[in-house]
Chain A
Amino acid sequence: MNSIVNIVIQGVLLGALYALFAMGQSLMYGVMRLTNIAHGDFIVLMVFILFALTNQGHVPLWAAIPLLLLIAFGAGYAMQHALLDRVSGRDPLPSLVVTFGLSVVIQNVLQEVFSADPRALATNGFESMSLSLPGGIAIGLLPLLTLAVTLAATLALQWLFGCTSLGRAFRATSDDREIVQLIGVLPRRTFALATSIAFVLIALAGALYSMRTAVSPSDGPGLLLYAFEAVVIGGMGSFWGTFAGGVVLGMAQQFGFFFDPGWGIWFGHLLFLAVLAVRPQGIFPKTA
Chain B
Amino acid sequence: MPAILETRALTAFYGDFQAIFGVNITVEKGEVIALIGSNGAGKSTFLKTVAGLLRAPARQVLYQGEPIGGMPAARIVSKGIALVPEGRRLFTSLSVEENLLVGGYCSRPGRWNLQTVYELFPVLKERRRDPATTLSGGQQQMVAIGRALMSNPDLLMCDELSLGLAPVIVREIYAALEQIVADGLSAILVEQDVQLARRVSSRFYCLQEGRVSLSGVSVDADDEAITRAYFGVAS
Contacts and interface: CB of A to CB of B under 8 A. Distances in A.
Nearest to B75: A184
A176 B94 contact: no
Interface in B147-164: 147-148, 150-151
B102 A183 contact: yes
A287 B83 CA distance: 27
Contacts of B180: none
B93 A171 contact: yes
Interface string A75-104: 000000000000000000000000000000
B105 A169 contact: yes
Interface string B22-54: 000000000000000000000000000001110
Interface stretch (B10-18, B84-92, B112-120, B203-211): B84-92
Nearest to A182: B83
Label chain A's interface by main secondary structure. Answer: helix
Contact of A168 (B74, B89, B94, B106): B94
A287 to B, nearest CB: 5
B101 interface: yes
Contacts of A168: 94, 98, 101-102, 105
B72 interface: yes
A165 B105 contact: yes
A186 interface: yes
B94 A171 contact: yes
A169 B105 CA distance: 8
B73 interface: yes
A183 B106 contact: yes
Given A168-B98, A178-B53, A179-B85, A185 B91 contact: no
B55 to A, nearest CB: 13
Contacts of A183: 77, 102-103, 105-106, 147, 150-151
B213 interface: no
Interface string A34-75: 000000000000000000000000000000000000000000
B93 A186 contact: no
A239 to B, nearest CB: 14
B72 A181 contact: yes
Contacts of B52: 181
A58 B91 CA distance: 49
A179 B77 CA distance: 12
A185 B77 CA distance: 9
A120 interface: no
Contact of A182 (B51, B93, B98): B51
A174 interface: yes
A9 interface: no
B223 to A, nearest CB: 34
Given A172-B94, A182-B82, A185-B102, 10 more contacts: A169-B102, A171-B91, A175-B94, A179-B85, A180-B91, A181-B73, A182-B77, A183-B77, A183-B147, A183-B151
